[in-house]
Amino acid sequence: MIGLHFFGKNQITDITSLLGEGGSKKKMFIIGLIVGGVSILLLVLVFSLWRCRWKKSHRGGKDIGVVYYNYRHLKMATNNFGEENMIGKGGFGEVFKAILDDNKVVAVKKLKVEYEGAKVGFENEILLISQIRHRNLLSLLGWSSEGSDLLLVLEYIQNGSLDKFLWGEKRGDLDWKTRYDIILGIARGIAHLHKEFHVKIIHRDIKSSNILLDNNFQPKIADFGLARLQPDDQSHITTMFAGTLGYTAPEYVLYGRLSDKVDTFSFGIVMLEIVSGRKCTYRNFDASSADGLLEYAWKLYETKNLLKLVDETMDVNHYKEEHVVNIIEIALLCTQSPASKRPTMSEVILMLPNNSSLVERQLTKPNCIDHDWRIQLECS
């Protein structure tokens, strides 16, 4: 770039001689103009900085790089958050279908503010999801807030959540190939959170109702409100339990010991649900006992009768039986205790397509949590 240099470096010039008669008054006038001009420039700069900070604080205080939606427009697009537009409901909020002005269909998640951590969860979800792009992770499109109302704008997934296809109104629609593809897709999404992103993210709430299925039945992991970061130099962090009983690892429920292996445990439970078509808390597998899904699967493993776990609505022919058994064994491996016995999600991805049995890993009885949160060292 070409510059114009009127004076040499550090050169001082006396301009008194240039002012002529009445030089002192003119000198004071010019100095006043210069000082005034500089003051105005400083005021403009300070105002600009203040305005920028005000905008950030007004929009949640985060520079997140996603679209800020007008709250009133989202309210209209969901018909005032009408029940007829509701497509999901959970412990932390409700999800509504919305059609925007450009006819784009989105999902609007309205967080409940009654519970203490609502705003923390809101900020977590914005900061984490806005930076994540993976085919098996639900994309955040934007956000909005007004007073205590907190809204997330997410991509709309037409088929809804996985649980509806396993034990809900759409039960029986999934064949084995589709279920296996769902399992593999979930594994890839979790592995991306743990290893392929620039920080390790622990989801903390992997469960079938948080897995959405697109038009091609590809899974997308949703709901990052409980997600936490795990430093690379720490094997775990200690924190208060938050999640869903039945899906959560014993060491986290009882001792608050959180690591990426907690997600591995939850994934193992979801695998068992996908194979069996039953929720993890279901207890009517066998009239002679009241075992939950994990306990029941382990007993079938001991008696070498794992195919009895398979969803009765799914036809598994002889050529696929070995693969199904292998998947159940991997699920049991993911639920081992202590956590060090569980594979990483990257290892799980390598195991899933392999039809051979788990020769190198010795399965042991998983630990189970009873209704009083007491640990049973062996599933009885």
pLDDT digits over 198-237, tens only? 778 999 999 999 999 999 999 999 998 888 888 776 777 8
Buried b (16+ CB within 10 A) or exposed e, 99-130: ebeeeeebbbbbbeeeeeebeebbbbbbbbbb
Q: What pLDDT score does 57 carry? A: 39
> Which residue in this structure is represented by tokens 């240039």?
18
Work out the average pLDDT over 110-118.
Answer: 71
Q: What pLDDT score does 178 carry? A: 96
Between CA 278 and CA 273 the distance in angstroms is 5
Lowest-pLDDT choice from 18-22, 64-68, 310-314, 365-369 = 18-22
Compute how many other C-beta atoms are within 10 angstroms of the C-beta atom of residue 32.
10
Looking at the predicted structure, is the pLDDT value of residue 42 above 60?
no
Of 242, 241, 244, 172, nearest in space to 208 by CA: 244
| Alpha carbon separation from 223 to 98, 133, 139, 167 (Å, rounded) | 18, 14, 10, 21
Of 208, 199, 235, 194, nearest in space to 344 by CA: 194
Work out the average pLDDT over 75-90.
Answer: 92
| Alpha carbon separation from 276 to 12, 71, 308 (Å, rounded) | 86, 42, 9
pLDDT digits over 261-287, tens only? 999 999 999 999 999 999 999 988 876
Instruction: Point out the annotated binding site for ATP.
Output: 110
Write the single-letter amino acid at 222.
A
Write the burial class of residue 198 (CB in 10 Å: 0-12 exposed, 13-18 middle, 19+ buried): exposed
Q: Indicate which residues carry an active-site annotation.
A: 205
Between CA 189 and CA 196 the distance in angstroms is 10
Lowest-pLDDT choice from 15-29, 76-90, 138-152 = 15-29
Work out the average pLDDT over 357-380.
Answer: 61
Instruction: Point out the annotated binding site.
Output: 110
Domain boundaries, the chain: 67-155, 163-376
Please tell me the class of the 67-155 domain. Answer: alpha beta
pLDDT digits over 50-67, tens only? 344 434 434 444 445 678
| Alpha carbon separation from 127 to 60, 62, 66, 156, 194 (Å, rounded) | 11, 8, 10, 20, 16
Better-scored residue on pLDDT, 252 or 8: 252
pLDDT digits over 140-149, tens only? 999 998 877 8
CATH architecture observed for domain 163-376:
Orthogonal Bundle (1.10)
Q: What pLDDT score does 286 carry? A: 76
Better-scored residue on pLDDT, 167 or 26: 167
pLDDT digits over 280-308, tens only? 999 888 766 678 999 999 999 999 999 99
- For residue 243, what are the contacts with CB-CB under 8 A and spacing of at least 6? 204, 205, 226, 252, 253, 266
Do 67-155 and 163-376 have matching folds?
no
